[in-house]
A = this chain, B = another copy of it.
Amino acid sequence: MHVATVIGTVWSTKKDPTLEGLRFLVVRPFTTDGKESAETLIAADPIGAGIGERVLVVHGRAARHAIGKGHDIGFQTAIAGIIDTMDLADGRRIGGHVDSDERAPESSD
């Protein structure tokens, strides 16, 4: 399970037939200490997450459940939820959008 930021979209024409009709997003895991992972994940998105949104990414059976096309599919990673906020013990609050951290006092999106 990862927390990640949506940073792009993937297009693929030649693929396993069970991947037809799925929306594939590029997501980048992040950590609560403000670092972004160098890792790049692709997640099927059955929920409708937008660029910059922070999301819960699940794998394996949980991802197949979230995708909703049964277990005989050729993909294993999916977005299971869009994060509103993360409230941390040290008092920090991580917003649900990458811009909500950076332009805090401004009227953002």
Q: Give me the interface of A with B, judged by CB distance under 8 Å.
A: 1, 3, 6-16, 18-19, 24, 26, 28-33, 35, 38-43, 46-48, 51-52, 56, 58-66, 71-78, 80-90
Majority-rule SS of A interface residues = mixed
Question: Given B14, B39, B75, which contacts A58 in the complex, CB threshold below 8 Å?
Answer: B75
With CB as the reference atom, state the residue of chain B lying closest to A88: B8
Question: Given B65, B74, B83, which contacts A18 in the complex, CB threshold below 8 Å?
Answer: B65
Question: Given B15, B43, B65, which contacts A16 in the complex, CB threshold below 8 Å?
Answer: B65
Q: Is the CB of B85 within 8 A of A74?
A: no
How far does the alpha carbon of A29 sit from the alpha carbon of B33 in the complex, in Å?
13
Least Cβ distance of A30 to chain B in Å? 7
Q: Is the CB of B31 within 8 A of A38?
A: yes
